[in-house]
Amino acid sequence: MKPARLLILGTALAAGIGAAFMVASSKPPQPKIVRQAPVRTDDVLVAAKTLLLGSVIQPGDLKWQSWPKAHVPPSVIRKSTAPQALTDYKGALVRAPLGVGEPVYPDRLVKAGTASFLSAILPSGMRAVAINIDHQGSTTAGGFILPNDHVDVIHTFEDKAAARAGVPDAMVSETLLRNVRVLAIGQNIQEHNKEKVVVGSNATLELTPAQVDTILRAQRVGQLSLSLRSLADSKTTSKEPATDDDRSNGMTIVRYGIPVQVRSH
Under a CB-based contact definition with an 8 Å cutoff, are residues 108 and 125 in contact?
no
More confident residue, 68 or 165: 68
Q: Would you tell me how many other CB atoms lie within 10 Å of the CB of residue 233?
A: 13
Within 13 Å, how many C-alpha atoms sit on residue 61's CB side?
A: 22
- Output the pLDDT for position 50: 94
Q: What is the pLDDT of residues 29-48, one digit of tens each?
A: 667 776 777 888 899 999 99
What is the percentage of the chain residues whose pLDDT exceeds 70?
65
Q: Is pLDDT of 191 > 60?
A: no
Q: What is the pLDDT of residues 82-118, one digit of tens each?
A: 999 999 999 888 888 899 999 999 988 888 666 566 7
DSSP bridge partners of 41: 68
Structural domains of the chain in order of their starting residue, each with its CATH number: 41-116 (3.90.1210.10), 122-262 (no CATH)
- Output the pLDDT for position 248: 41
Q: Which helix (H) or strand (E) holds 8?
A: helix 3-25
> From residue 125, how far is each of 52, 153, 240 by CA, in Å?
21, 20, 15
pLDDT confidence bin for 134, thresholds 50/70/90: confident
Q: Is pLDDT of 245 > 60?
A: no
Q: Is pLDDT of 160 > 50?
A: yes
More confident residue, 80 or 258: 80
- Output the pLDDT for position 44: 96
Q: Is pLDDT of 233 > 50?
A: yes
First to last CA, the chain: 133
